[in-house]
Structure 1
Amino acid sequence: MIVVTGATGNVGRALVGQLAAERIPVRALTRDPARAHLPEGVETARLDPTEPASLAPLFTGASGLFLNLQATGAGGEHTAALLEAARAGGVRHVVVLSSSIVGDGADETHPLYVAHAALEEAVREAGFDWTFLRPGAFAANSLQWAAQIRAGDTVRGPFADFAGNPIHEADIAAVALRSFLDDTHRGAAHRLTGPEPVTHEETIRAIGRAIGRDLRFVEIPPEEVTPDIFPHVPPAILPELLASFGEFVGRAPEITTTVETVTGSPARTFEQWARDHKDDFRG
Structure 2
Amino acid sequence: MKIVFLFLLLCTATVQFAQTGNVDFNSPYNIKKFADYLFCDKDYLRAALEYERLTDTNMSDTTEIKIALSYSYIKDYYSAIQKFSGIIKPSVYFNEAKLEEMKVNFLINDFAELRSYFKNSFITEVGKYQTEGEKLFNYSYLFTDDELPLKDEFILPFDVKEKEKISSFYDWKKEPPYKDGTLAGIMSAIIPGSGKIYVGETGDGIVAFITTTVFAFIAYDNFEAGHTTRGWIWTGVAALFYAGNVYGSVAAAQVHNAKITFEFNEGLNIYLNKKNYYIPKYEFCD
TM-score range, shorter chain: under 0.3
Q: Relative contact order (C-alpha < 8 Å, sep 6+): which is higher?
A: 1
Q: Bigger radius of gyration, 1 or 2?
A: 2
